Chains A and B, each alone.
Chain A
Amino acid sequence: MYVAVKGGERAINNAHRLLAEKRRGNTETPEIETDQIEQQLSLSVARVMSEGSLFDRDLAALAIKQARGDLIEAIFLIRAYRTTLPRFAFSKPIETGKMDIERRISATFKDLPGGQILGPTFDYTHRLLDFTLMANGQTPPEAAQGDQPVDDTMPRVLDDLLNYEGLIQDEPASADNDDAPVADLTREPVSFPAGRDLRLQNLARGDEGFILSMGYSTQRGYANSHAFVGEIRYGKVAVEIEPEELGFAIDIGDIDITECETVNKFKGSKIKPPQFTRGYGLVFGQSERKAISMALVDRAMRAREMGEQIMGPAQDEEFIMEHSDNVQATGFVEHIKLPHYVDFQGELELVRRMRKEIEARAQSTPETKAAE
């Protein structure tokens, strides 16, 4: 006797209850609060905001908690929430030149107007586990205050310094036209070739690990665009909108961002003197790994524009853009755990039939078999 499996609905509900219990863990341990995540896991929060395309620290912290710390799951939660939000306005382009700087370094000049500001960075920490943190250690001593505030004017290395001599390519249709339409892949289907606006949006939302590996591949010869970090800056910038009925811009709040501009291998031609080229990275919060990788891949994907030969996957915009999104990727990769009984049955039927035919053929020609 056979009784078909039933009760999918009850199984799902029970699975959700068990999941909630597992998320909570041992109840003798105090429940983690979202503001602890927001404050103390701020780099996770930054990643979820960047790849979730939504600047909201509290929601990102909630998503991380709900996702049990699985950042891709948290990004997915944020994306699914974001897509239901109405659009009230489009902001003016942010002005990173007016950033309230916490960190700013250049790898191309030893010193420069505004100086090198080290800021909060893991860069020179020795990667030794700090067991005092495990022992619920002491509050760290307050960081030292500098004698003087950072300069008000912090010129951008590429636009304000290199461009002064005309040594770096102009960005076509960049800052000059604030009102030019900007593509949005969450609102329009992507088609190829894609404009740089669409590519940059895709990279900003792209999986940190994927963009990192693709950026890395450009350094190992799967592209030809050696890069210097012209500048990385991290800090706060104001977001402004200009409501139609007001006719002037109003400040709606600050966001913290990391911006990276790379100076890349020069090019030139008979008519054009040699000039450096550039790559650009911008992410929410502090993530230099992602911002640098993004700038490398951005530059590599400009191969078509620069008339370069495509030598590696990072230069292939269709390959990069179709595979960078971790919410898409994880959904499709994991979907193969869904039932495929019906398709597999089709394969079984065919394989059995083909084997049967081969057997039948072998039996009907015994002489040839014997001769073998």
Chain B
Amino acid sequence: MENTQTSQNTETGAAYNFAYLDEQTKRMIRRALLKAVAIPGYQVPFAGREMPMPYGWGTGGVQVTAAVIGPDDTLKVIDQGADDTTNAVSIRQFFAKTAGVATTEKTAEASIIQTRHRIPEKPLRDDQILVYQVPIPEPLRFLEPRETETRKMHALEEYGLMHVKLYEDISRHGHIATTYAYPVMVDGRYVMDPSPTPKFDNPKMNMMPALQLFGAGREKRIYALPPFTRVESLDFEDHPFSVQSWDDECGMCSATDSYLDEVILDDKGNRMFVCSDTDYCTERQDAGHRGPQHHDQPLGGKAAE
């Protein structure tokens, strides 16, 4: 093949190909991505490669991003919603080094966003691609560990077991006890694992204008949600799906509509809440919003109210 392996990354002068993967591997992943888009929610097997970072740390997302990213893209990487978590920093550096692409922490400026565990709060546009890192792509895995069996269940649309499990939760706890990786039904056909995002983010997947791509490196599966695809969280008539809510606001930007992380302040039970989406929080603070624990506020601002 004269056209594989030989192209050099001219931006970095490194011996690796643009975006690390060789062209043949990228083609294989790209073909899998097209199938994934054509069969929304279906897990396409692909010959995942060994990446220079550990399995379970985003190798699937990294391979998808490497196959999709071009020299004109602007990449944002988040972990737990934050751009500055160590693994997000590490993955962003990897692409800055191997692909020489522009990176950003601003959701609105990114053309590709690779994420672990969150969907940004700011609605995504149709010219953006969201790439999820997926640890266990099979939503039925904890009901049935065997791939040979779960594949049959998907083929036959045999999702009764999943409903039984969710209903058992309700009878035992009064609630569906799944708070993240909450299963969804895609376009009325495939039950899909949304990756371990909190169920708070599930409604954002429905009819999202951006293309959503999912990569599971260790399990060697790729799946996708085309833009404007129906994504419904599984539920029951008498127990409709609902998302998390907090009594508190974000201590920094006072947001009440975003997913909050809890920060332990001392060993006396004092805690505060902050947006898990750091860009969303920063943007609100820049626009003048202030939460009770913001440094422009006196300490314990809320209590003083």
Contact = CB atoms under 8 A, between A and B. Distances in A.
Within 8 Å by CB, do A and B touch in the complex? yes
Interface stretch (A127-135, A251-259, A344-352, A362-370): A344-352
A76 B54 contact: yes
Contacts of B20: 84
Nearest to B49: A83
Nearest to B260: A345
A357 B170 CA distance: 14
A331 interface: yes
Contacts of A349: 179, 244, 246
A339 B89 contact: no
A339 B87 contact: yes
A372 interface: no
B260 to A, nearest CB: 7
Contacts of B76: none
What 8 A-B pairs have minimum CB-CB distances, sorted nearest first? A331-B55, A335-B56, A346-B179, A189-B45, A331-B54, A332-B56, A8-B89, A331-B56
A346 B86 contact: no
B52 interface: yes
A177 interface: no
Interface of B: 4-5, 16, 20, 22, 45-52, 54-57, 59, 79-81, 84-90, 93, 116-118, 135, 146-148, 173-175, 177, 179-181, 196-200, 218, 220, 244, 246, 251-252, 259-263, 265, 272, 274, 276, 278, 293-295, 297, 299
Q: Which applies to chain A's interface (DSSP): helix, strand, loop or mixed?
A: helix
A9 B46 CA distance: 32
Contacts of B174: 354, 357
B79 A338 contact: yes
22 contacts: A8-B89, A12-B89, A79-B50, A80-B52, A186-B47, A189-B48, A318-B146, A327-B55, A328-B218, A330-B55, A332-B55, A333-B56, A338-B87, A341-B262, A342-B180, A342-B197, A342-B259, A343-B196, A343-B198, A345-B276, A350-B175, A350-B244
Interface residues of A, number: 51
A190 B220 CA distance: 9
B55 A342 contact: no
Contacts of B246: 349
Contact of B274 (A2, A348, A357): A2
A342 B81 contact: yes
A339 B79 contact: yes
Contacts of B90: 12
Given A8-B84, A189-B220, A346-B179, A84 B46 contact: no
A139 interface: no
A80 to B, nearest CB: 4
Given A4-B274, A328-B218, A342-B276, A335 B54 contact: yes
B295 A3 contact: yes
A338 B57 contact: yes
A334 interface: yes
Contacts of A192: 147-148
A185 to B, nearest CB: 8
A353 B175 CA distance: 10
A8 B252 CA distance: 20
Contact of A12 (B47, B52, B80, B86): B86
A334 B54 contact: yes
A12 B135 CA distance: 23
A342 B56 contact: no
Nearest to B275: A4
Given A80-B51, A189-B220, A345-B260, A86 B22 contact: yes
